[in-house]
Amino acid sequence: MGRPAVPAAVAAALLCQLGLSAAIRWLGLTESGSRVAWNETQHCRLLAGLVPDQFQMCRRNLEVMHSIVRAATDTKSVCQKTFADMRWNCSSIQRAPAFGPDLLKGTRESAFVHALAAAAVTHSIAQACASGELPLCSCGSVPSEVPGPDFRWGGCGDNLRYGLQLGAAFADSPLKSSKLRTQAIKAMNLHNNAVGRQVLSDSLETKCKCHGVSGSCSVKTCWKGLPNLGEIASDLKSKYLAAIKVTHRLLGPRKQLIPKEMDVRPVKETDLVYLINSPDYCTVNLQLGSLGTQDRQCNKTSVGSDGCNLMCCGRGYNAYTEEMVERCHCKYHWCCYVVCKKCRRMVERYVCK
């Protein structure tokens, strides 16, 4: 009514863009999201990358947006750290919310990033509850397990249950709302999001604190807490390496994700799945979302994925020396400072041809 009419063609183009884009456009919140205070509902409107259901959630539950922005930031940095030694090194995640084919199509890489992002939202909300940041939740409930003989439940555990509830609603909503994305990609990423949350749930561990005279640990209180996101990412990386290629087809009354190879076991709820093969990421091919490995640093002695042989795809490498300046010969002076010298050291570096 008060709004200017949007020409149909523009609307269609916008919808189309939304439909084709990944369900992880919210990872683009790192820039826009850190610029606002999240104390007024109109802040939700400023953000590109949110789908209608996410807007609604933002308006109803503004405080949780800090956790979501943090989850976006963590997903980006942890993904890049976890894949630093691989040909595909997750650098394309920086382009969020505008991704390339490596993350828009049904690839393994997309499977990993969706799972990690879904785990990150839940992780971030579960910990925000425990730290008292959110008005609608607090510490996780006391575990139903009987405590061991040497401790009692206490402290404040991460609220995994609330994290799962809100995190799933947020991370899965783009996959449930858009009608334009293909059914297969939706099913794939809904599955992978759930894998991320399952791996996170399985990682919940007992953490303890000692009390008692001079650290004697005669009294111990324990609670359930989540490890840092890096550990979750490294579990998910193993699952990425063992991911199962599937097709989405009718099996009985409904469509399901079924392994493409006949001899592969059925898909479990902790298996990442993908639909299309990835390129080898050796050479530049922007159509396929491959940046290539030219000029990537490699390790001459490693036989792993960061070794020059694998990283450079057999093209060979160039060596150069770099001067490193380090603190060395440090001496402690009474009381209380340390004086160090600066040492220069030449190190050999190798980059792919």
Ligand X SMILES: *[C@@H]1O[C@H](CO)[C@@H](O)[C@H](O)[C@H]1NC(C)=O
Shortest Cβ 32–ligand X spacing (Å): 16
Shortest Cβ 37–ligand X spacing (Å): 4
According to CB under 6 A, which residues from 287 to 316 bind ligand X? 291-293, 296, 299, 301-302
For 256, how many CA atoms within 13 A lie in the half-sphere containing its CB?
Answer: 10
State which residue, 237 or 245, has the beta carbon closest to ligand X.
237
Shortest Cβ 321–ligand X spacing (Å): 13
State which residue, 47 or 273, has the beta carbon closest to ligand X.
47
- Phi, psi angle pair for 198, to nearest 5°: -65, -45
Closest CA to 162 of 192, 185, 141: 141
Shortest Cβ 276–ligand X spacing (Å): 21
Q: Does 63 bind ligand X (CB under 6 A)?
A: no
**Contact with ligand X (CB under 6 A): which of 17, 91, 131, 141?**
91
Assess whether the previous peptide bond of 313 is cis (omega < 30° from 0). Answer: no
Shortest Cβ 352–ligand X spacing (Å): 8
Shortest Cβ 90–ligand X spacing (Å): 8
State which residue, 99 or 223, has the beta carbon closest to ligand X.
99
Shortest Cβ 283–ligand X spacing (Å): 10
State which residue, 32 or 299, has the beta carbon closest to ligand X.
299
State which residue, 49 or 289, has the beta carbon closest to ligand X.
289
Using CB under 6 A as the binding criterion, the count of chain residues that bind ligand X stands at 13
Tell me the per-residue interface mask from 33 to 52 with ligand X, x by CB under 6 A, - otherwise.
Answer: ----x-xx------------
Tell me the per-residue interface mask from 235 to 274 with ligand X, x by CB under 6 A, - otherwise.
Answer: ----------------------------------------
State which residue, 91 or 318, has the beta carbon closest to ligand X.
91
State which residue, 5 or 347, has the beta carbon closest to ligand X.
347
Binding site for ligand X (CB under 6 A): 37, 39-40, 84, 89, 91, 291-293, 296, 299, 301-302
